[in-house]
C-alpha cells in the first residue's frame, strides 16, 4: 500500500464514523507528516517507529504536550482502525497535560479592547464572542438566521462534539448586531469573509483582529481569543450565576470541565470567612 492509499483509507474510516471535519483534517495531516518523516507508508512502520516519532516531536521539535497528543490520537486511529493493527498503547503513552490558570481580563480591560475597535464589524464580533461565551469556530460560522431575538438566544450549530445548542444573547449584543446588520446587510453568514464572497470569516481572521485590538489597547496579559470565553464564565460565576447554568451556556458535556472556572474566581468576590476567624470571634465572645 502506498502512502497515498493509506491516507485515502484513513479518510474513508473517519468519514464512516461521522467524525467532525476538524478531526478528519487533524488525523489526515498528522498521519501524512508521520509517513513523510520516514518516507514510508504506515504499513511498513510499527510501534517503535511511532515511539521514535513522538519522541522526536517532543525533544527535537519541542511541541507542546497538547500538540503531541493530537499526533498520538491520529496514529492510534490509523493503526487501530484503518490498518486494524493492535498496538501496545502502554508503549505510546499520552502526555500528561498540566493545566495552568489562564490570564483573565477584567470587564474594564474588555471594554478598553471594544473601544479600541476601529470598525463596527470587528467590535460586533468581539462583543458576540464575550457576550455569549462562544468558541472561535462558533462565532465565525454564525448565520443571520441563528439570531433569535424573540427568545434572546443565539443558535450554535454543530459545535464541539457535533452538538447544537443555544447560547445567551444579551441586550447590548443584540443592539450591536442590529446596528451591524443595518450597515453591512449580511445575507447568509453573519460575519462574511472580506476575501471570498459567499463564505464566512475564517477563525484565523478572527484571531488576527483580536490580537490587533489587544495590542492597540495596550493589554499586556497573555491572552488569546479563547480568553473571552474564559472571561464570560468567570465573570458569570463572580456575579453569582450557578455553575450548572454556566455549563449549559458553554455547551460542556461534563460538569467537571465547567468546575475548572471555580478556580479562576477571585477570592474576594466569594465573601467567605475562614473558619479560623469564626473560631477567634467565638473565643472573644465567650471570653
- Reading phi first (left if > 0) and then psi (alpha if -120 to 50, else beta), residue 169 is in beta
Of the residues 229, 230, 235, 247, which is catalytic? 229
How far is it, in rounded angstroms, from Cα 239 to Cα 271?
12
Within 10 Å of residue 189's Cβ, how many Cβ atoms? 17
Q: How many beta carbons lie within 10 A of that of residue 132, not counting itself?
A: 24
Grid coordinates in use for 92?
Answer: 505510546
* Catalytic annotation present for 213: no
Alpha helices in 60-135 (DSSP H): 65-77, 107-116, 120-132
Q: Tell me, yes or no, if 27 is annotated catalytic.
A: no
The catalytic position among 3, 135, 200, 247 is 135
| Residue pair 53/33 in contact by the 8 Å Cβ criterion | no
151 is catalytic: no
Which of the following is catalytic: 71, 79, 180, 261?
A: 261
**257: phi then psi, degrees, rounded to nearest 5:** -65, -40
Helix, strand counts (H, E) of the chain: 13, 3
Annotated active-site residue in 51, 76, 160, 216: 160
For 100: left if phi > 0, alpha if psi spans -120 to 50, otherwise beta; the answer is beta
Which residue among the candidates 51, 76, 216, 226 is catalytic per the annotation?
Answer: 226
**Residue 32 in contact with residue 6, Cβ under 8 Å?**
no
- Clarify whether 22 is annotated catalytic: no
Say whether 55 is catalytic.
no
Catalytic-residue membership of 204: no
Question: Hey, which residues are catalytic here?
Answer: 135, 160, 226, 229, 252, 261
Amino acid at each position: 500500500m502506498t502512502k497515498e492509499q493509506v491516507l485515502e483509507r484513513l479518510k474513508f474510516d473517519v468519514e464512516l464514523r461521522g467524525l467532525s471535519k476538524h478531526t478528519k483534517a487533524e488525523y489526515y495531516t498528522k498521519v501524512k507528516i508521520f509517513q513523510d518523516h520516514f518516507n514510508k507508508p504506515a504499513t511498513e512502520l510499527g510501534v517503535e517507529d511511532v515511539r521514535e516519532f513522538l519522541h522526536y516531536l517532543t525533544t527535537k521539535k519541542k511541541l507542546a504536550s497538547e500538540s503531541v497528543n493530537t499526533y498520538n490520537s491520529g496514529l492510534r486511529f490509523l493503526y487501530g482502525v484503518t490498518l486494524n493493527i493492535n498496538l501496545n498503547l502502554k508503549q505510546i503513552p499520552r502526555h500528561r497535560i498540566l493545566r495552568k490558570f489562564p490570564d483573565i481580563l477584567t470587564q474594564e480591560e474588555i471594554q478598553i479592547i471594544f473601544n479600541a475597535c476601529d470598525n463596527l464589524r470587528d467590535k460586533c464580533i468581539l462583543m458576540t464572542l464575550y457576550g455569549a461565551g462562544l468558541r472561535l469556530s462558533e462565532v465565525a460560522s454564525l448565520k443571520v438566521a441563528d439570531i433569535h431575538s424573540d427568545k434572546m438566544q443565539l443558535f450554535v450549530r454543530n459545535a464541539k462534539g457535533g452538538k447544537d445548542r443555544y447560547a445567551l444573547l444579551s441586550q447590548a449584543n443584540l443592539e450591536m448586531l442590529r446596528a451591524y446588520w443595518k450597515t453591512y446587510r449580511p445575507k447568509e453568514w453573519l460575519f462574511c469573509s472580506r476575501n471570498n464572497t459567499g463564505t464566512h470569516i475564517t477563525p484565523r481572521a478572527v484571531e488576527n483582529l483580536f490580537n490587533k485590538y489587544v495590542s492597540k489597547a495596550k493589554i499586556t496579559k497573555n491572552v488569546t481569543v479563547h480568553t473571552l470565553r474564559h472571561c464570560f464564565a468567570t465573570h458569570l460565576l463572580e456575579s453569582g450565576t450557578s455553575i450548572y447554568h454556566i455549563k449549559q451556556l458553554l455547551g460542556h458535556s461534563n460538569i467537571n470541565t465547567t468546575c475548572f472556572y471555580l478556580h479562576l474566581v477571585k477570592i474576594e468576590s466569594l465573601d467567605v470567612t475562614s473558619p479560623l476567624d469564626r473560631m477567634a470571634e467565638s473565643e472573644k465572645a465567650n471570653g
